[in-house]
Structures are given as C-alpha cells and as structure tokens.
C-alpha cells in the first residue's frame, strides 16, 4: 500500500476528505513536536517562560484532536468506507488520541520544568534527562515521518527504538534513587524530575502505538501486544 492507494475513488470529494485528515494529523503532529521540544528545552535550561508557553498552548493540541475526530466520524457516517479507507480512518482516530496524550505529557514536563527551575537539588540529573528527551524527540519525529510516507519499515524501527528509551529511563531512575538516599533533602526536587522522566518514557510508548497503527493501516493486521521479534519477522524487510 502507498499514498496513491488512498486516492482511488470515483468521488473526488471523498479523495479530498481522506487526504485532508492525513494532512491535519501531520499538522497536529508538528504542533506536538514543537510542544515537546519547548518543554524539554525549558526543563534543561530552566526557562520557566517557555514552560508556561507549553502549558498555555495545550488547548491547541486538544482542538486538533476534537476537529479530526469529528471529521473522521463524518466520514464513517456519510461515506461508509471499506478496506484500506476504513483502516485509514480508524488509524487516524487512534493516532490523534495518542498525539493528544503526548501533548498532555509535554505539558506535564513543562509543569515540572517550572518547579525544577526553583529547585536546589538534582541538577546532575538534567544531563541524563536531556539525553532521554532527545531520544524521545527523535522517536516522535520518525513516527510522524513513517505516517507521512506510509513506511512500514520505518514504523518497525520506531518500535525498536522504545528499547533504548526504556533503558535510558531505567538509568535515570537508578541515579535519582541514589540522590534521594544520599540526601533526603533532595527528595522533593528529584521527585519532580522523576515525574518529568516518566512523562518522557510514556511519550515513547505513545510513539510505539502510532507506529503500530501504521503497520495496521498498511498490512491490515493489529500488532498490538505482539513482540518486536514477531513484528520484524512478519513485516520487516
């Protein structure tokens, strides 16, 4: 399946509807990427103004979610799509839900950045969290790129990257626990950083979900709760 498969309809209006929801998903994804980037920068550099912007702009992500969901509902009701068209609409509905939740997690990182800016402990954790944030940003970008190009192999690679995200998150957690045991006064500040790291790890999980929806869109098989090895064996190059 490729992008041309999405536009083979007698109704030009139907073609336009399908292409429009794809375009809006990518616009929403671009906004979510921007939100995540600002949140991570705010956390690493202690920029409370940038963090406030992330928190205040979350409504824009929510508006995308509502709009795209309504458009998908209308397509289901009026066009009654089948086969790959139906899979596209269902995949978009699920993807936008995950993008909205990624926006929520970015907002959470922003809130933790505001609190961390005034904290006195845990500064040595910022480097590790910055690395985790970079990995997550790359993962989100690749997931959106895989959707833009309808690329199953790229989607599979994104699923594989979650292993690195989990490993980095576990490393942050171990270091955080060490700080809190060595200096109990650091507990409030370090807990804020733990919540930020946890939000980033969850974004990695959401990126995995998006990639699994892409595989479903192209291959017509639900690969949720399927091992990475099995996905690679069945759908990889």
How far apart (Å, rounded) are the C-alpha atoms in residues 148 and 141? 11
**Confidence (pLDDT) at 171:** 93
The residue assigned the tokens 């040595």 is 124
**Confidence (pLDDT) at 7:** 47
Radius of gyration, alpha carbons of the chain? 19
**Confidence (pLDDT) at 54:** 95
Closest alpha carbon to 177 in 164, 165, 186, 168: 186
Here the tokens at position 129 are 């969290």
**Confidence (pLDDT) at 132:** 94
Here the tokens at position 190 are 């370090």
**Residue 146 near residue 214, CB atoms below 8 Å:** yes
Task: Quick: pLDDT tens for 3-29.
Answer: 545 445 557 788 888 999 999 999 999
Q: What is the pLDDT along the chain (237 residues), one digit of tens a residue?
A: 555 454 455 577 888 889 999 999 999 999 999 999 999 998 888 788 889 999 999 999 999 999 999 999 999 998 888 888 999 999 999 999 999 999 999 999 999 888 877 766 666 788 889 899 999 999 999 999 999 999 999 999 999 999 999 999 999 999 999 989 998 888 888 898 999 999 999 999 999 999 999 999 999 988 888 888 888 888 876
In terms of pTM, does the model score above 0.85? yes
**Residue 105 near residue 202, CB atoms below 8 Å:** yes
Domains of the chain: 3-235 (1.20.58.220)
What ranges in the chain are assigned the alpha helix state H?
Answer: 12-45, 48-56, 58-79, 83-117, 126-149, 152-182, 187-219, 228-235
Q: What are phi and psi of 19, to 5 degrees?
A: -65, -35
């Amino acid at each position: 399946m490729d992008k041309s498969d999405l536009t083979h309809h007698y109704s030009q209006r139907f073609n336009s509807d399908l292409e429009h929801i794809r375009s809006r998903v990518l616009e929403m994804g671009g906004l979510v990427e921007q939100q995540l980037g600002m949140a991570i920068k705010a956390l690493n550099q202690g920029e409370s103004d940038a963090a406030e912007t992330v928190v205040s702009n979350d409504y824009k992500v929510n508006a995308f979610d509502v709009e795209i969901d309504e458009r998908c509902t209308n397509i289901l009701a009026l066009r009654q799509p089948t086969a790959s068209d139906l899979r596209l609409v269902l995949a978009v509905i699920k993807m936008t839900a995950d993008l909205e939740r990624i926006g929520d997690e970015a907002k959470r990182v922003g809130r933790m950045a505001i609190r961390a800016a005034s904290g006195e402990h845990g500064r040595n954790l910022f480097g590790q969290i910055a690395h985790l944030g970079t990995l997550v940003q790359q993962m989100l970008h690749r997931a959106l790129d895989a959707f833009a190009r309808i690329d199953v192999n790229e989607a599979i690679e994104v699923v594989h990257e979650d292993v690195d995200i989990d490993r980095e998150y576990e490393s942050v957690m171990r270091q955080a626990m060490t700080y809190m045991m060595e200096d109990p006064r650091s507990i409030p500040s370090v807990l804020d950083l733990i919540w930020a790291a946890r939000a980033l790890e969850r974004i990695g999980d959401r990126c995995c979900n998006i990639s699994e929806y892409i595989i479903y869109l192209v291959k017509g098989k639900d690969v949720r709760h399927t091992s990475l090895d099995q996905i690679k064996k069945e759908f990889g190059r």
